[in-house]
Amino acid sequence: MTERRLSKYTSVAEDVAKAHLVPETAQTQAPAFRLAFEDLEFLRREDMRSVRFQLELLKAELMMSEAGIESTVVLFGGSRIPDPVDKGSARTETLAGLSKYYDEARRFAYMAGQESIAGGGREYVVVTGGGPGVMEAGNRGASEAGAKSIGLNIVLPHEQAPNTYITPELCFNFHYFALRKMHFLMRARAVAVFPGGFGTLDELFETLTLIQTERMERIPVLLFGEAFWRSIVNWEALADAGTIAQEDLDLFRFVETADQAWDAIKP
């Protein structure tokens, strides 16, 4: 009897199709009649925010799990840092000079991609914010190694289009920064941070805070370009002031090249 009942159980897709076949009346055209999960107006309501949070958490989580991804190498960095071949079009001389880190990011991601392929594509999968600049370099390097890579895009007023090197089935889009940042770090085995702006700083300090407060395990955090980072953050002053502990300065290390970075994290 149980098997017979189960065999007659209709799927979600079947019920959706049936719901669209009902006669058009005042009742069936009313918003209240729509299936809740098909009602975008309902899902966008202010009081449905927690449900939208869950959807953004679960969609990427389930799809990465189904792809067999167990660990990642995260690349953070500026969207405005150009490919060296295009550095003549950079908006400042400083950005033109920082273009060398596009190549370092590309090479570092290539190394991670090679390691990922050697392990069956489940470990050391490159993940970026999915946009241009350093993010493009990261996905590009992994692609050149023949490895899959992840892009965690977010809807922004500018620079939000995904770069073309992301593995299409691992190209995600987010509305909430908080959920996007969770996915950056949930599988992270290492974090490489290249010169960047507010977004890069936000991602860096969030990572350091989570490690400092033991909300995530300690992993290598590699800052490319010591001169850049020391010019914008007086790290020792934080420790001297007592706002961080002296040992917190050991939560990260400076590197200049992809080789140095890979030596710090290679298995």
Is residue 5 a part of any domain in this protein?
Answer: no
Total count of domains within the chain: 2
Question: Of 69, 65, 67, 100, nearest to 85 (Cα)?
Answer: 100
0.85 exceeded by the pTM? yes
Instruction: Give the single-character DSSP code of 146.
Output: T
At 236, is the secondary structure helix, strand, or coil? helix
Q: How many CB atoms lie within 10 A of CB 248?
A: 16
* Structural domain boundaries, residue 19: 10-44
Per-residue pLDDT of the chain (267 residues; tens, 9 = 90+): 444 455 567 788 998 898 899 999 999 999 999 999 999 999 999 999 999 999 999 999 999 999 999 999 999 999 999 999 999 989 999 999 999 999 999 999 999 999 999 999 999 999 999 999 999 999 999 999 999 999 999 998 876 789 999 999 999 999 999 999 999 999 999 999 999 999 999 999 999 999 999 999 999 999 999 999 999 999 999 999 999 999 999 999 999 999 999 999 987
* Bridge partners, 188 (sequence order): 72
Distance, in Å, from the CA atom of 172 to the CA atom of 170, rounded to the nearest integer, reads 6
Is residue 183 a part of any domain in this protein?
Answer: yes
- Same domain, yes or no: 62 and 148: yes
- Same domain, yes or no: 122 and 235: yes
Sheet holding 221-224, edge to edge: 171-174, 149-154, 125-128, 72-76, 188-193, 221-224, 253-255
Helix and strand element counts for the chain (H, E): 12, 7
